[in-house]
């Protein structure tokens, strides 16, 4: 039996707690500060990037595995999909107002 399956997933708990702190920090900055909107958006975007990196390492086991090239290809593909989804959503939501 593999000893790895019997261990407590402490990295998952740490990753969850770190993600929770980052999310609550972003909510606090957005709701409780009087910073300019551009500063708030930059701060939230930075926290989102950090949280994505934490999730890649803690939950997706990016450090594990023998084939590093496959991991890099998968990350590039995921970034491509994220950009397409976000840009497509913004395009659809903003172009609908011009036809109404």
Q: Using one digit for the tens of pLDDT, what is the confidence trace for 15-57?
A: 899 999 999 999 999 999 999 999 999 999 899 989 988 888 7
Domain co-membership, 59 together with 47: yes
Q: In this structure, are 45 and 78 located in the same domain?
A: no
Which residue has 């939230």 as its token pair?
Answer: 44
Number of domains in the chain: 2
- Is there a single domain that holds both residue 43 and residue 16? yes
CA angle 73, 47, 89 (to 5 degrees): 65
| Residue numbers of the domain that contains 80 | 66-100
73 and 46 belong to one structural domain: no
| pTM recorded for the entire structure | 0.64
For residue 96, what pLDDT band results from cuts at 50, 70 and 90?
confident
> Are 23 and 8 members of one domain?
yes
Task: Let me know: does 51 contact 23? Beta carbons within 8 Å.
Answer: yes
Q: CB within 8 A of 44, min separation 6: which ones?
A: 26, 29, 30
Instruction: Give per-residue pLDDT as tens, 1-16.
Output: 455 567 888 888 888 9
First to last CA, the chain: 63
Residues 58 and 80 in one domain: no
29 and 78 fall within a common domain: no
């Amino acid at each position: 039996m593999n000893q790895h399956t019997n261990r407590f997933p402490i990295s998952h708990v740490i990753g969850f707690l770190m993600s929770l702190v980052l999310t609550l920090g972003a909510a606090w900055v957005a709701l409780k500060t009087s910073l300019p909107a551009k500063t708030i958006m930059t701060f939230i975007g930075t926290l989102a990037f950090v949280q994505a990196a934490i999730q890649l390492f803690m939950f997706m086991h990016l450090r594990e595995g023998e084939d590093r090239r496959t991991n890099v290809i998968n990350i590039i593909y995921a970034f491509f999909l994220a950009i397409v989804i976000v840009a497509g959503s913004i395009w659809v939501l903003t172009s609908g107002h011009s036809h109404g």
